[in-house]
Structure 1
Amino acid sequence: MPLLRFDLVEGRTLDELQLLLDAAHRAVLAAFKVPERDRYQIVHEHKRSRIVIEDTGLDIERTDGVVFLQVTSRPRGREAKEAFYKILTEELEKSCGIAPADVVVSIIENSDEDWSFGLGRAQFLTGDL
């Protein structure tokens, strides 16, 4: 936790995907201070015609390298979120050559009772975590 869901234009190699996922995980570790093995990532690839990510009137130019990242997480403070956005774009640019203009993030917050990590239990509530 958090859960990261990536929506990408298809066409990246397995190595490129691994670099992207590793870079995003480093950003999560740095900004949200979660344990190293707290890693939940899902990749969805789409044909170019099936993904539309425009600029909300900000004049941001996007390429086919665009990454839309939806993060589902327990509540995080504003500073942690802003740090995540910054570190994520830095990591993706440095490790993957993805321009910061091609990174769009949405964070959805939920609470401890909204998570079960298996075994039919709510580990945040039971004290297992």
Structure 2
Amino acid sequence: MPLVRLDIRRNPDPTFARRIGELIYAALRSAIDVPEHDNFQILTEHDAQHLIYDPQYLGIQRSDGVVFIQITISEGRTVEKKQLLFKTIAESLNTQLAVRLEDVFINLVEVKKENWSFGNGTAQYVT
């Protein structure tokens, strides 16, 4: 049920965004028990003029390698599960792709289950 939106600066490696997406999906599976095949992502690369961020908001020193991740999921996860998800994503991006921990920006959007339609004009989670 998650929908992942990823925004990064254009990267010379054409596989970079895809590899980030794969690590996010793995983190979703391990940290909050997302089922197999529940993988929907929009991966977008931008030039410098179209990706704006504050390089020091809240005392966190961000670089041009900033990675914006927005995940829309059904509501109901505990704060602990959400924190585990954030940590798992940041650490995997850091260890696997050398993304600085300071550059991993995650926004989690929770919605009610009836707000999803996966196709056919039907709200599949409505009982």
Q: Deviations over 1:102-123 (max 9, x none)?
A: 0001111111110011111111
Deviation at 1:42, TM superposition (A): 0.5
Q: Deviations over 1:70-100 (max 9, x none)?
A: 1111112201110001000111011111011
* Identity of matched residues, %: 34
Q: 2: CA distance between counterparts of 1:101 and 1:91?
A: 13
Instruction: Give the residue type in structure 2 aligned to 1:6.
Output: L
Matches within 5 A, 1:10-25: 10-25=10-25
Aligned to 2:49: 49
Aligned to 1:99: 100
Aligned to 1:79: 80
Instruction: Give the residue type in structure 1 aligned to 2:2.
Output: P
Q: 1: CA distance between counterparts of 2:57 and 2:28?
A: 28
Say if 2:69 and 2:107, in contact at 8 Å, map to a contact too: yes
How large is the RMSD of aligned CA atoms in angstroms?
1.4
Give the unaligned 5+ runs of structure 2: none
Q: 2: CA distance between counterparts of 1:68 and 1:119?
A: 30
Q: 1: CA distance between counterparts of 2:106 and 2:55?
A: 12
SS for the counterpart of 1:124 is: coil
Say if 2:60 and 2:102, in contact at 8 Å, map to a contact too: yes
Aligned to 1:119: 120
Give the unaligned 5+ runs of structure 1: none
Q: Deviations over 1:18-66 (max 9, x none)?
A: 2211111111111110112110110122111221222564222212211
Say if 1:7 and 1:44, in contact at 8 Å, map to a contact too: yes
Q: 2: CA distance between counterparts of 1:94 and 1:54?
A: 24
Q: 2: CA distance between counterparts of 1:108 and 1:79?
A: 16
